[in-house]
Chains A and B, each alone.
Chain A
Amino acid sequence: MATIFAGLFYLAAAVLVAGLAVRIRQYAGTPAPLKIPTTPAPTTKGGVALRLVREVVLFESLFKATLWTWLFGWVFHAALALVLVRHLRYFTEPVWSWVAFAQPFGVYAGFAMVAGLAGLWARRFLVDRVRYISTPSDHLMLALLVAIALSGLAMKYVAHTDVVAVKAFFLGLMRFEVRSLPADPLLAVHLGLVAALMLVFPFSKLLHAPGLFFSPGRNQADDPRERRHLAEWAARLDSK
């Protein structure tokens, strides 16, 4: 089993990194010929950076849109971030002090993550407008995340797995050594689903994560009168 998972994680990590790199290069390489920030917009680069930080950390626009979606969405993402931080302990030896500090919060975050996901999922059934726009993959993605969270929580609260061995396995992977992995069904489910998530990330709507940073509506400064903004293909028209 260790060998299968080792291969799976090498593959998943490679697909995730390469897939995202390709996407990000594609986004960065596509010209934005016109100034289209949603105004009022910051007039300086520093202001734009701050706007993006507010979007990433606080979900500012979503907050203006609907409080429920913001609440569930923000709780889920914040909890996910904490859970990821908590999982860093499987990849670091010795564990970084701030990661150690976050450990107890990370456990509660696991529950918050499930609650946030449940709220988001409920909207897909209860609100007729959101039901209309939901595709099977929207439900599958939520199911995947919920299953990852529940299998993780189950290993903490229902059937303990040998986390020391799991850590040894991942530290080994990072040194290109395949070490043994506990033969634990919950662990297998958890790791398998995480690998699946990594594999679909660059090809799915999960691209909203890098997408935000490349959204011209949010990442452009409002200064079109002061500076001439010109894409390469558009500049060629000037010399015709």
Chain B
Amino acid sequence: MADVTAPPLREFPVPPAIQPDAMAASQPYVATEKMQEAIGFPGKLVDDWHDKAISKMGELVGKYRSLRVYLDACVHCGACTDKCHYFLGTGDPKNMPVARQELMRGVYRRHFTLPGKLFPKLVGARELTRDVLDDWYKYYNQCSECRRCSVFCPYGIDTAEVTMAAKEILDSVGYGQKYTNEIIGKVHKIGNNLGLPGPALEDTLLGLEEDTKEETGADVKFPLDVKGAEVLLITPSADFFAEPHVDSLIGYAKVFHAAGISWTLSSHASEAGNFGLFIGNYEQMRAIAMRIREAALDLGVKRIVVGECGHAWRVAYSFWNTLAGIGSGADDPFARMLQSQLDHRYRQPTHICELTWDLVQKGALVLDKEANDHRVVTFHDSCNVARASRMGDDPGGQFEIPRALVRAVANRYVEMRPGTTHEATFCCGGGGGLLTDELLDLRVKGALPRMESLREVADRHGVNFMATICAICKAQFTKVLPYYGFNRSMVGGVHQLVSTAIRLGAKQ
């Protein structure tokens, strides 16, 4: 692995000077034949990859309006050039969103537009050579699909859409990424990203029940596969045993316990994450979402609640209704099959923060805010929650509800610098299927903008806890915080704070 180095924190957040090819050596491991074939992609780079890739591009341009419009509309205005955390952390110009798009746009122009066919040099059109294909593999694997650039683009061009299309094309010619594709295989085979089989999950949950009993004296349950439960909780599998994720799972369980809501996990759908999103593959994304539909139908639940996970919440909130009919308002038989079973007095699906915040507002929970007084808390907005979803009834609820919840359970709360939170939040540096060790240098560098604003509030206000609602953010920060001189346990979930503050058994 290449040396992992953290860039120095900048005193003033000015964009770095461009350093061509600074990250040209960064690339993730290529998926093995077995991993590729397990999910229906060619095992290795096919001989006619050029023609296959071009025809796949044509297919995608015909299937996705986003891709077609985004490839045409860019005017190279430069508004996005200083918005990507990977550019800010590396200075590599191909990490500027427009330049990243241009890797594909050049090929699109060459093959699908008149000027590109007639005057390729003039309009920056390029043939898809092996070098260009390799550049795709490198630099589309340096995009975390966080959509920060799309906020600032005058046409709303979303680089994530281009990155997803590129990964879809790469997969279709047998040039897939190991981390994401291996994990997708595990979900299909075992039911979750971590490959945790049912019996092991059951053991883990029993262990958590014992631990929680010891801590609180209350019989907090962690039910699995309980038919007829009211709520099906879909949560990232990291919540089952990774630190600090598990503390949030304990938090959810305490909330359900305190509110007297019957709930269950599912061994068939023991994963909220959906890496089909990261590789831009509709069929994969749908197949993974279908597991949740199947579990909900099988268990006969009335509500579906999603745990703390950023991209999972994007897929759940924005796509589940489309992919698997999980939601409201459908009149087709496929979706009605599930929707007639669900209780539409509740939002379907519901984010765990929405559920807990509703209970707090109703006064259904007893909270001891002082229990969190040893913490000075700030909140890191996760990219997919911030820019690709919502909570509550009003736009921006995805910012307000988690914050309201944090303030309800902790006395000491500080915001990070404006321009680094809410819709302008910086990605943790590990999203989009990049949370793999061989990309650690990229991940550390990509965390730079977030680390700068964290350093500011840590120095100025003594912030010692950064709350977030994403499994990837938690895992990424746990790993990269030490490179910037922070303690790795500074990061944790919102429901970890809830867990600390909630008092069980005190309510009549």
Q: Which of A38, A137, A204 contacts B156 (CB 8 A)?
A: A38
Among residues of A, the one whose C-beta sits closest to the C-beta of B331 is A228
Q: Are A65 and B152 in contact (CB under 8 A)?
A: yes
Q: Are A207 and B78 in contact (CB under 8 A)?
A: no
Asked if B39 is at the interface of the complex by the 8 Å CB criterion, the answer is no
Asked if A237 is at the interface of the complex by the 8 Å CB criterion, the answer is yes
Asked if B329 is at the interface of the complex by the 8 Å CB criterion, the answer is yes
Q: Are B121 and A136 in contact (CB under 8 A)?
A: yes
Q: Are A224 and B123 in contact (CB under 8 A)?
A: no
Q: Are A224 and B317 in contact (CB under 8 A)?
A: yes
For residue B98, which residues in chain A have a CB less than 8 angstroms away from its CB?
133
Q: Which of A123, A128, A137, A228 contacts B332 (CB 8 A)?
A: A228
Q: How far is the CB of A55 from chain B (nearest CB, A)?
A: 7
Which of B167-175, B189-197, B386-394 faces chain A? Answer: B386-394
Asked if B223 is at the interface of the complex by the 8 Å CB criterion, the answer is no
Q: Are B81 and A212 in contact (CB under 8 A)?
A: no
Q: Which of A39, A133, A211, A212 contacts B388 (CB 8 A)?
A: A39
* Contact status of A62 and B317, CB under 8 A, knowing A26-B68, A69-B77, A215-B70: no
Q: Are A225 and B81 in contact (CB under 8 A)?
A: no
* Contact status of A42 and B395, CB under 8 A, knowing A134-B76, A138-B76, A211-B73: yes
| Bound Cα distance from A39 to B152, whole angstroms | 12
Q: Are B395 and A129 in contact (CB under 8 A)?
A: no
Q: Are B74 and A234 in contact (CB under 8 A)?
A: no
| Bound Cα distance from A207 to B399, whole angstroms | 34
Asked if A216 is at the interface of the complex by the 8 Å CB criterion, the answer is yes
Q: Are B18 and A222 in contact (CB under 8 A)?
A: no
| Bound Cα distance from A237 to B65, whole angstroms | 19
Asked if A40 is at the interface of the complex by the 8 Å CB criterion, the answer is yes
| Bound Cα distance from A135 to B152, whole angstroms | 21
| Bound Cα distance from A235 to B96, whole angstroms | 36
For residue A211, which residues in chain B have a CB less than 8 angstroms away from its CB?
69, 72-73, 155
Asked if A239 is at the interface of the complex by the 8 Å CB criterion, the answer is yes
For residue B325, which residues in chain A have a CB less than 8 angstroms away from its CB?
228, 238
Asked if B348 is at the interface of the complex by the 8 Å CB criterion, the answer is yes
Among residues of B, the one whose C-beta sits closest to the C-beta of A211 is B73
| Bound Cα distance from A204 to B70, whole angstroms | 13
| Bound Cα distance from A238 to B333, whole angstroms | 9
Asked if B80 is at the interface of the complex by the 8 Å CB criterion, the answer is yes
Q: Are A233 and B96 in contact (CB under 8 A)?
A: no
Q: Are B322 and A34 in contact (CB under 8 A)?
A: yes
Asked if A32 is at the interface of the complex by the 8 Å CB criterion, the answer is yes
Asked if B124 is at the interface of the complex by the 8 Å CB criterion, the answer is yes
Among residues of B, the one whose C-beta sits closest to the C-beta of A23 is B72
Q: Are B76 and A36 in contact (CB under 8 A)?
A: no
Asked if A97 is at the interface of the complex by the 8 Å CB criterion, the answer is no
Asked if B132 is at the interface of the complex by the 8 Å CB criterion, the answer is no
For residue B76, which residues in chain A have a CB less than 8 angstroms away from its CB?
130, 133-135, 138, 205
Asked if B83 is at the interface of the complex by the 8 Å CB criterion, the answer is yes
Q: Count of A residues near B, CB < 8 Å?
A: 66
Q: Are A225 and B327 in contact (CB under 8 A)?
A: yes
For residue B388, which residues in chain A have a CB less than 8 angstroms away from its CB?
36, 38-39
Q: Which of B64, B121, B158, B390 contacts A40 (CB 8 A)?
A: B390
Q: Are B18 and A132 in contact (CB under 8 A)?
A: yes
Q: Are A234 and B282 in contact (CB under 8 A)?
A: yes
Q: Mark out the residues of chain A between 111 and 155 whose CB falls within 8 Å of any chain B CB in the assembled complex.
A: 120, 123, 127-130, 132-138, 140
Type the 1/0 row for A204-240, where 1 means its CB is closer than 8 Å to any CB of B: 1101100110111110001011111110011101110
Q: Are A133 and B387 in contact (CB under 8 A)?
A: no
Q: Are B122 and A137 in contact (CB under 8 A)?
A: yes
Asked if B238 is at the interface of the complex by the 8 Å CB criterion, the answer is no
Q: Are A205 and B75 in contact (CB under 8 A)?
A: yes
| Bound Cα distance from A143 to B155, whole angstroms | 23
For residue B495, which residues in chain A have a CB less than 8 angstroms away from its CB?
none
| Bound Cα distance from A133 to B82, whole angstroms | 13
Residue of B77, B347, B424 with most partner-chain A CB within 10 A: B77
Q: Which of B69, B114, B347, B387 contacts A27 (CB 8 A)?
A: B69
| Bound Cα distance from A34 to B282, whole angstroms | 9
Q: Are B395 and A226 in contact (CB under 8 A)?
A: no
Asked if A33 is at the interface of the complex by the 8 Å CB criterion, the answer is yes
| Bound Cα distance from A40 to B123, whole angstroms | 34
For residue B99, which residues in chain A have a CB less than 8 angstroms away from its CB?
132-133
| Bound Cα distance from A205 to B75, whole angstroms | 6
| Bound Cα distance from A35 to B316, whole angstroms | 11
Q: Are A215 and B157 in contact (CB under 8 A)?
A: yes
For residue A217, which residues in chain B have a CB less than 8 angstroms away from its CB?
66, 150, 153, 156-158
Q: How far is the CB of A208 from chain B (nearest CB, A)?
A: 4
Q: Are B389 and A133 in contact (CB under 8 A)?
A: no
For residue B390, which residues in chain A have a CB less than 8 angstroms away from its CB?
39-41, 222
- What are 30 A-B contacts defined by CB distance under 8 Å? A27-B65, A33-B322, A36-B158, A36-B388, A38-B151, A40-B390, A40-B398, A43-B394, A55-B154, A69-B78, A127-B81, A128-B17, A129-B18, A129-B81, A129-B96, A130-B76, A136-B123, A137-B122, A205-B72, A214-B65, A215-B155, A215-B156, A216-B65, A224-B317, A224-B319, A224-B322, A225-B348, A225-B349, A228-B335, A229-B321
Given contacts A39-B395, A127-B81, A218-B155, 14 further A-B contacts (CB under 8 A): A23-B72, A30-B64, A32-B66, A33-B322, A42-B395, A43-B394, A61-B152, A129-B78, A137-B115, A200-B115, A208-B73, A208-B154, A224-B317, A227-B330
Instruction: Report which B residues bind A (CB closer than 8 A).
Output: 15, 17-18, 61-66, 68-70, 72-83, 93, 96, 98-99, 102, 113-115, 119, 121-124, 147, 150-158, 161, 282-283, 286, 317-319, 321-322, 325, 327-330, 332, 334-335, 347-349, 386-390, 394-396, 398-399, 423-424
Instruction: Report which A residues bind B (CB closer than 8 A).
Output: 23, 26-27, 30-36, 38-43, 55, 59, 61-62, 64-66, 69, 73, 120, 123, 127-130, 132-138, 140, 200, 203-205, 207-208, 211-212, 214-218, 222, 224-230, 233-235, 237-239
